[in-house]
């Protein structure tokens, strides 16, 4: 199976790539930093030799680079699963956050998913099957401290995902929105998780993989997954 994952060099994206690599799939991975992405690919190939790991350095905030990545994926495979995971987080309040926060996060958190999905969809529609995962956030479910433009962009991604799900319901293509709470990724790099307070990236990856294994007539529309003790 051919699987496209954006933002795949570390964190949740890397965990998702590892989860699918276990089953020997062909993965098309992208991230901005080629060195980090290349190291991730090397480690995955070493650990899971049955999987085919293809990588491309892409700045998904730039439409032309998204289009180049789409062309590369569709020329070299037939994607059946797309995971829109690329994202950026800059904390702040709407009233006083730095000018440009909203534009920057909308480009990465919404437009990247929009353009990447539009590029991959024609092949999925031709094949009459596919599964699209949009990695959102619990920040899209309610307002929270220092949410600012990040929360706005994730609310927008949720709206995109809901409309996409409705449009594609008769096409054989599934759409799942994933709303993770706090996960031990780069955003939480200084957090002491020795007490197992927040989740691990593999928790999200395993839920996504499980959602792909249902019958063709069943779809998990939303996955809300939080730390056992609740949000921080």
pLDDT per residue over 4-45, tens digit each?
999 999 999 999 999 999 999 999 999 999 999 999 999 999
Catalytic residue among 114, 144, 150, 166: 150
Q: Is residue 230 part of a domain?
A: no
Q: Is residue 155 part of a domain?
A: yes
Is 150 annotated in the active site?
yes
Q: Is residue 231 part of a domain?
A: no
Q: Residue 105 sits in a domain of what CATH number? A: 3.40.50.720
Please give the share of the chain, as a percent, with pLDDT higher than 90.
92
Q: Please write the tens of the pLDDT for every residue from 78-87.
A: 999 999 999 9
pTM strictly above 0.75: yes
Q: For residue 207, what pLDDT band results from cuts at 50, 70 and 90?
A: very high
Q: For residue 187, what pLDDT band results from cuts at 50, 70 and 90?
A: confident
Domain membership of residue 81 as a residue range: 2-225
Check pLDDT > 90 for residue 130.
yes
What does pLDDT average to over the chain?
A: 96
Q: For residue 185, what pLDDT band results from cuts at 50, 70 and 90?
A: confident
Q: Is residue 9 part of a domain?
A: yes
Distance CA 97, CA 24 (A): 44
Distance CA 90, CA 99 (A): 12
* CB-CB contact of 37 with 29 (8 Å): yes
26: left (phi over 0), alpha (psi -120 to 50) or beta: beta
pLDDT of residue 18: 98
Tally of domains within the chain:
1
Nearest to 82 by CA among 42, 129, 37: 129
Q: Once rounded to an integer, what is the mean pLDDT over residues 92-119?
A: 96
Q: Is residue 232 part of a domain?
A: no
Q: Please write the tens of the pLDDT for every residue from 20-29.
A: 999 999 999 9
Q: For residue 203, what pLDDT band results from cuts at 50, 70 and 90?
A: very high
* CB-CB contact of 200 with 184 (8 Å): yes
């Amino acid at each position: 199976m051919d699987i496209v994952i954006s933002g795949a060099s570390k964190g949740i994206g890397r965990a998702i790539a590892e989860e699918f690599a276990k089953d020997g799939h062909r993965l098309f991975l992208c991230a901005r930093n080629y060195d980090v992405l290349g190291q991730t690919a090397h480690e995955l190939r070493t650990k899971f030799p049955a999987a085919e790991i293809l990588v491309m350095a892409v700045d998904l905030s730039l439409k032309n680079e998204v289009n180049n990545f789409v062309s590369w994926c569709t020329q070299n495979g037939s994607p059946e699963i797309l995971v829109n995971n690329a994202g950026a987080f800059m904390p702040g309040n709407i009233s006083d956050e730095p000018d440009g926060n909203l534009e920057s996060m909308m480009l990465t958190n919404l437009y990247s998913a929009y353009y990447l999905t539009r590029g991959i969809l024609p092949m999925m529609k031709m094949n009459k099957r596919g599964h699209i995962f949009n990695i959102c956030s619990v920040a899209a479910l309610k307002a929270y401290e220092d949410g600012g433009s990040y929360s706005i962009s994730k609310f927008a991604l949720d709206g995109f995902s809901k409309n996409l799900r409705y449009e594609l319901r008769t096409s054989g293509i599934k759409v799942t929105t994933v709303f993770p709470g706090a996960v031990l990724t780069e955003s939480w790099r200084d957090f002491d998780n020795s007490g197992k307070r927040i989740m691990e990236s593999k928790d999200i990856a395993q839920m996504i993989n499980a959602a792909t294994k249902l019958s063709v007539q069943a779809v998990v529309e939303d996955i809300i997954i939080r730390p056992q003790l609740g949000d921080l």
